[in-house]
Amino acid sequence: MTAVRPRRVRSQKPIDDLLLSEHQLEEMYSYMLLARRINERSLALNRQGRAPFVIAGVGQEAAQVGAAMSLRKGVDYLAPYYRDLGMNLVLGMSAREAMLNLLGKRDDPNSYGRQMPSHWGNSSRHIVTQSSVVTTQFLHAAGIALGAKMRKDPVVVMTCCGEGSTSKGDFHEALNFAAIHKLPVVFYVENNGYAISERTEKEMPLEHVADRARGYGIQSAVVDGMDAIAVYQNVRPAVDQARRGGGPFLIEAKCYRLWPHSSDDDDSRYRPKKELEEWARKDPLKLFRERVENDGIFPRADLDEIEEKTEAEIREATQWALMQPDPAPEDALGFVYKEA
Amino acid sequence: MAQASVIEAIRSTLDEELAADERMFILGEDVEAGGVFRATDGLAAKYPGRIIDSPLAESSIIGLSIGAAHYGMRPVAEIQFADFIHSGFDQLCSEASRWCYRTKGDAYLPMVVRTPWGGGVHGGQHHSQSIEAYYTHMPGLKVIAPAFPADYRSLLKAAIADPNPVLFLEHKRTYRMVRQELEGAPAESVIGRARVTRRGGDLAIFAYGLMLHESLAAAESLAGEGIECTVVDLLTLLPLDRETILEAAKATGKVLIVHEDTLTGGLGGEIAALIAEHAFEYLDAPIRRVAAPDIPAMPYHHAMESFFMPDAAKIAAAARELAAY
What are the structural domains, with CATH classification, of chain A?
22-320 (3.40.50.970)
A261 is annotated as an active-site residue:
yes
> Which among B159, B181, B203 is the end of a domain?
B181
- CB contact under 8 Å between A143 and B140, yes or no, is no
Residue B219 lies in a domain: yes
* pLDDT tens per residue, range A26-73: 999 999 999 999 999 999 999 999 999 999 999 999 999 999 999 999
Q: Of residues A199, A243, A270, A271, which has the active-site annotation?
A: A270
- CB contact under 8 Å between B68 and A147, yes or no, is yes
- What's residue A298's pLDDT? 85
Residues B275 and B167 reside in one and the same domain: no
d(CA B139, CA B130) in angstroms, rounded, equals 19
Judged against a pLDDT cut of 90, whether residue B184 lies above it is answered with: no
Asked whether the beta carbons of B107 and A121 are under 8 A apart, the reply is: yes
DSSP label of A54: -
A257 is annotated as an active-site residue:
yes
> Which among B181, B203, B221 is the end of a domain?
B181
Domain that holds residue B125: 3-181
Residues B86 and B233 reside in one and the same domain: no
Residue of A nearest to B103 (CA): A111
- CB contact under 8 Å between A136 and B57, yes or no, is no
- What's residue A31's pLDDT? 98
Residues B167 and B236 reside in one and the same domain: no
Residue B190 lies in a domain: no
Residues B21 and B66 reside in one and the same domain: yes
d(CA B297, CA B28) in angstroms, rounded, equals 25
* pLDDT > 70 fraction of chain B, expressed in percent and rounded: 98
> Which among B150, B181, B212 is the end of a domain?
B181
Would you tell me how many other CB atoms lie within 10 Å of the CB of residue A305? 16
* pLDDT > 70 fraction of chain A, expressed in percent and rounded: 98
pLDDT band at A8 (very low <50, low <70, confident <90, very high): low
Q: Chain A residues within 8 A (CB-CB) of chain B?
A: 77, 79, 109-112, 114-115, 119, 121-123, 128-129, 131, 133, 136, 138-148, 150-151, 169-170, 173-174, 176-177, 180, 334-340
How confident is the model over A102-114, as a mean pLDDT? 98
Residue B187 lies in a domain: no
Residues B200 and B313 reside in one and the same domain: yes
Residues B227 and B162 reside in one and the same domain: no
Q: Å from B71 to nearest chain A CA?
A: 5
A102-137 CB burial, b ≥16 within 10 A, e <16: bbbbeebbbbbbbbbbbbbbbeebbbbbbbeebbbb
Domain count, chain B: 2
How confident is the model over B276-302, as a mean pLDDT? 97
Q: Nearest 5 degrees, angle CA A230-CA A231-CA A236?
A: 105
d(CA A310, CA A30) in angstroms, rounded, equals 8
Judged against a pLDDT cut of 70, whether residue A2 lies above it is answered with: no
Residue B238 lies in a domain: yes
Mean of all residue pLDDT scores within chain B: 97
Chain B residues near residue A78 by CB distance under 8 angstroms? none
Chain A residues near residue B57 by CB distance under 8 angstroms? 173, 176-177
Q: Which candidate from B64, B65, B100 shows the least CB-CB separation from A335?
A: B100
How confident is the model over B165-189, as a mean pLDDT? 90
- CB contact under 8 Å between B104 and A121, yes or no, is no
Residues B111 and B219 reside in one and the same domain: no
Q: Of residues B86, B122, B126, B127, which has the active-site annotation?
A: B127
Chain A residues near residue B164 by CB distance under 8 angstroms? 337-338
Residues B265 and B293 reside in one and the same domain: yes
Asked whether the beta carbons of B97 and B141 are under 8 A apart, the reply is: yes
Q: Å from A120 to nearest chain B CA?
A: 9
ipTM confidence score: 0.97
Here the CATH number for the domain that contains residue B297 is: 3.40.50.920
Residues B147 and B277 reside in one and the same domain: no
d(CA A321, CA B3) in angstroms, rounded, equals 63
Here the CATH number for the domain that contains residue B8 is: 3.40.50.970
Q: Å from B244 to nearest chain A CA?
A: 21
Residue B110 lies in a domain: yes
Judged against a pLDDT cut of 60, whether residue A5 lies above it is answered with: no
How confident is the model over B104-125, as a mean pLDDT? 97
Residues B13 and B137 reside in one and the same domain: yes
Residue of A nearest to B191 (CA): A340
Q: ω into residue B310 within 30 of 0, thus cis?
A: no
Exposure of A157 by Cβ count < 10 A (0-12 exposed, 13-18 middle, 19+ buried)?
buried
pLDDT band at A3 (very low <50, low <70, confident <90, very high): very low
Residue B304 lies in a domain: yes
How confident is the model over B98-118, as a mean pLDDT? 98
Residue B319 lies in a domain: yes
How confident is the model over A220-240, as a mean pLDDT? 97
The residues pairing with A223 across neighbouring beta strands, listed in sequence order, are A253
Give the least confident one: A3-17, A276-290, B198-212: A3-17
Residues B199 and B143 reside in one and the same domain: no
Residues B105 and B250 reside in one and the same domain: no
Mean of all residue pLDDT scores within chain A: 95
- What's residue A6's pLDDT? 55
